[in-house]
């Protein structure tokens, strides 16, 4: 499966000034919370499949069917949103994604989301 998620050009987004409201919207979905928390832990780009596997484990359903459903959901819903906001960079050719902002931007939101679990 090769997602065709749009990746905004870096010049289109000023990642230093993402409004808090957009950050709250990004964190309003559990899968986006998991994705951003996972990406914030990584120092390099990761493969989309690794993220889907991580989310499947977090959701306590590590079956192949669930993994495929997560890939589709990431492709159609979550990655486009995270890319449009400017939090994530995604290369559809290589299926690699990485955090597009400093970890410090998302860290307070990740901690808040973890406390809510």
With 0.95 as the threshold, say if the pTM is over it: no
- Tens digit of each residue's pLDDT (9 = 90 or more) over 33-85: 999 999 999 999 999 999 999 999 999 999 999 999 999 999 899 999 999 99
Distant-in-sequence, close-in-space partners of 68: CB < 8 Å, separation ≥ 6 = 1
Domain 19-116 of CATH type 3.20.14: no
Instruction: Say how far apart CA 86 and CA 23 lie, in whole Å.
Output: 10
Q: What is the CA radius of gyration of the chain?
A: 13
- Read off φ and ψ for residue 104, nearest 5 degrees: -60, -25
Cα three-residue angle 39-115-42, rounded to 5 degrees: 15
Closest CA to 110 of 38, 13, 16: 38
- Tens digit of each residue's pLDDT (9 = 90 or more) over 1-14: 444 444 444 444 44
pLDDT at 16: 58
């Amino acid at each position: 499966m090769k997602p065709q998620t749009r990746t905004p050009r870096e010049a289109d987004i000023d990642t230093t000034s993402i409004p808090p409201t957009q950050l709250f919207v990004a964190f309003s979905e559990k899968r986006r919370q998991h994705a951003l928390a996972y990406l914030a832990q990584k120092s390099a780009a990761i493969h989309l499949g690794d993220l889907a596997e991580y989310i499947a484990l977090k959701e306590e359903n590590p079956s192949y069917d669930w993994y495929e459903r997560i890939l589709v959901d990431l492709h159609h819903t979550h990655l486009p949103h995270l890319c449009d906001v400017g939090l994530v960079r995604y290369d559809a050719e290589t299926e690699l994604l990485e955090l597009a902002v400093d970890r410090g931007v998302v860290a307070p939101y990740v901690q808040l989301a973890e406390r809510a679990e």
